[in-house]
Structure 1
Amino acid sequence: MNIKICGICRKKDLLTCENTSADLIGFINIERSQRLVKTGKIKDLTSSMKDQNKAVLVIEPENMADAQERIENTGLMKVQLHSLSTEDIIKLKKHYQTKNKQNKCIDPVKKYKSDLTVIRALGLSEKLNSQKIREIQDFARVCDGLLFDSEIEGKTGGTGRHIPLETATEAAKIAKNCNPDLKLFLAGGMNKNRIESELKTLDNFFDFVDVNSGVEDEPGVKNTAKIKDLMEIKVI
């Protein structure tokens, strides 16, 4: 099971994540978040990383230009989007397409490969309705990854609430049917106890679990012992 630890605000916590071999490390640049880190500080934190490819920029841009500005200001090429339409994501990925590479494949899933890795966060509630199913299918076709999180008043991220596992796995099946290469993340109140109790199912349906408040003493302040304890799951 791959583990993404999100909401890093301090150098100390970043070093702990790196030293315990977290697979991905998230930095949140969303104004409404209690774990907001400005782009300048994100660049400062990530500049010293052993492997900057593990860094994920978490943003909720107003538009494509806003997204580009945040990407350029941090230099990070993995983004977790909590906004933007499929059309904007296609344009964003095309903007960062590898130069001198021609891809004539007409398959819409493979057409938009680029240097930018896009993970789109999608909010789930107790049950999936037809609108949510279409949303999952649409984003699965154009993104590199989908992150399922609990949704409150149309907003995802930082809720600390669990998504019912049955609902999450149903969403995962729908997404993979559209794009078998898609990486799937599950967030929402994830901690070591929940991951261990549901490990077999999580491992079967998801590529990553996303942990934030589950390893904190308070928002933005990670607990070193909790991170080390969580990462023991990787050697089970």
Structure 2
Amino acid sequence: MTGLKIKVCGMRDPKNIDAVCSASPDYIGFIFYPKSKRYVGDNPDESIFSRVPATTIKVGVFVNEDAPKVIEICQKYKLQVAQLHGHESVDYCREIKNAGLTVFKAFSVFDDFDFGQLNAYKEVVDFFLFDTKGKLPGGTGEKFNWGILDQYKLDTPFFLSGGIRPEDCEDLNNLIFEHLFAVDINSGFESEPAVKETDKVSSFILQIRKKQKHTI
């Protein structure tokens, strides 16, 4: 694992987006799931997305949305990535990928999680994202047992999500999973839903990147 990337998810407020982007995250996520507390809303203004600098990749997060609608939204708002957080099938992921989008497929992980089910997806997704299993799709604000990732044997890189907080920097920097590509932060850095505490985000990014520079 080298050069751990950072995704800040659940953004919506323009000024907060500007402040977070000043810390230069690698990815920024926008949630298009109406049941989420961080839903961007119906027909959000394009300026929410266009203000993101080109150096930060824009991710749209969807849950069991119709594939053509996902493609339409990503094209409209110039989102490079579709993150799929529902029960999307292999064929569904293929349709999204064939539209020219990068595909993140999220799976909720628990102690008896069967990593074998991922084999069918490895040709149609670019990254997996492992989150904590909850009652509803999306984040729970809680961690899962990261040790279970020792069972992951595919070559597809993955994002680690679920309850990550500012104080987790040291533990994250000490992880040695070969295909860990990025960490996904959200509620652990918020003052309220969709509003990030930018000082915490900036400090976290700085600490992660400082450590990575010393280990590459």
TM-score (norm 1): 0.79
Contact 1:61/1:67 (8 A) holds in 2: no
Structure 1 residue 88 corresponds to structure 2 residue 88: no
- The amino acid of 1:225's aligned partner reads D
Deviations 1:132-188 (CA, angstroms, capped at 9, x unpaired): 3232222223100110001123x4322011110111342xx32xx2xx3x3310100
Question: Which 10-residue stretch deviates more, 69-78 or 5-14?
Answer: 69-78
Question: Which 10-residue stretch deviates more, 196-205 or 213-222?
Answer: 196-205
- Looking at both structures, which has the greater relative contact order when contacts are Cα pairs under 8 Å and sequence separation is at least 6? 2
**Which residue of 2 is the match for residue 65 of structure 1?**
68
Deviations 1:25-82 (CA, angstroms, capped at 9, x unpaired): 1111111110000363263211122217511111113332232232233231211011
Distance 1:15 1:202, change over 3 A: farther
Q: Tell me, which stretches of 5 or more residues in structure 1 are unaligned? A: 97-114
CA distance in 2, matches of 1:10, 1:203: 34
TM-score (norm 2): 0.86
Deviations 1:198-226 (CA, angstroms, capped at 9, x unpaired): 42215644110000012111111111211
- The amino acid of 2:128's aligned partner reads L
Distance 1:127 1:194, change over 3 A: farther
- 3-state DSSP class of the match of 2:31? strand
**Which residue of 1 is the match for residue 116 of structure 2?**
134
- The amino acid of 2:203's aligned partner reads D
Q: Tell me, which stretches of 5 or more residues in structure 2 are unaligned? A: 212-216
- The root-mean-square deviation of aligned C-alpha atoms, in Å, is 2.0
- Higher-Rg member (1/2): 1
**Which residue of 1 is the match for residue 6 of structure 2?**
3
Instruction: Select which of 124, 143, 166 maps to 1:192.
Output: 166
Structure 1 residue 15 corresponds to structure 2 residue 25: no
- 3-state DSSP class of the match of 2:107? strand
- 3-state DSSP class of the match of 1:69? helix
CA distance in 1, matches of 2:20, 2:205: 9
Contact 1:120/1:143 (8 A) holds in 2: yes
More helix by share: 1
**Which residue of 2 is the match for residue 235 of structure 1?**
210
**Which residue of 2 is the match for residue 143 of structure 1?**
125
Question: Which 10-residue stretch deviates more, 76-85 or 202-211?
Answer: 202-211
- The amino acid of 1:6's aligned partner reads C
CA distance in 2, matches of 1:22, 1:225: 13
Structure 1 residue 120 corresponds to structure 2 residue 105: yes
Contact 1:25/1:54 (8 A) holds in 2: yes
CA distance in 1, matches of 2:5, 2:176: 10
- 3-state DSSP class of the match of 1:210? strand
- 3-state DSSP class of the match of 1:214? helix
Aligned residue runs from structure 1 range 166-181, under 5 A: 166-170=147-151, 173-174=152-153, 177=154, 180=155
